[in-house]
Amino acid sequence: MLTIDLEKLPSYRIGERRGMEQGAHEKAQAIAKELLNAGIPPTQVVMFTQLSLAEIEGLKKGQMDA
């Protein structure tokens, strides 16, 4: 019977890395939303989360629309 160690496949590693990056980005967005809710200015949120100011402004606008 053929067995394949998926973790050794390059495509598996690429997918795993992308998933981790996406998870980290989503966590940064969640933190940014909390900081904005706490009244922290967007320019400071950028420093804490490493997200772009445009993305922070988009999150802020999205919260105002909700």
For residue range 22-65, list pLDDT tens digits in order: 999 999 999 999 999 999 999 999 999 999 999 999 998 887 66
Confidence band of 2 (pLDDT split at 50, 70, 90)? confident
Name the pTM for this structure.
0.76
Ranges of each domain in the chain: 9-65
- Secondary structure of residue 3 in the 3-state scheme: coil
Contact 53, 36 (CB under 8 A): no
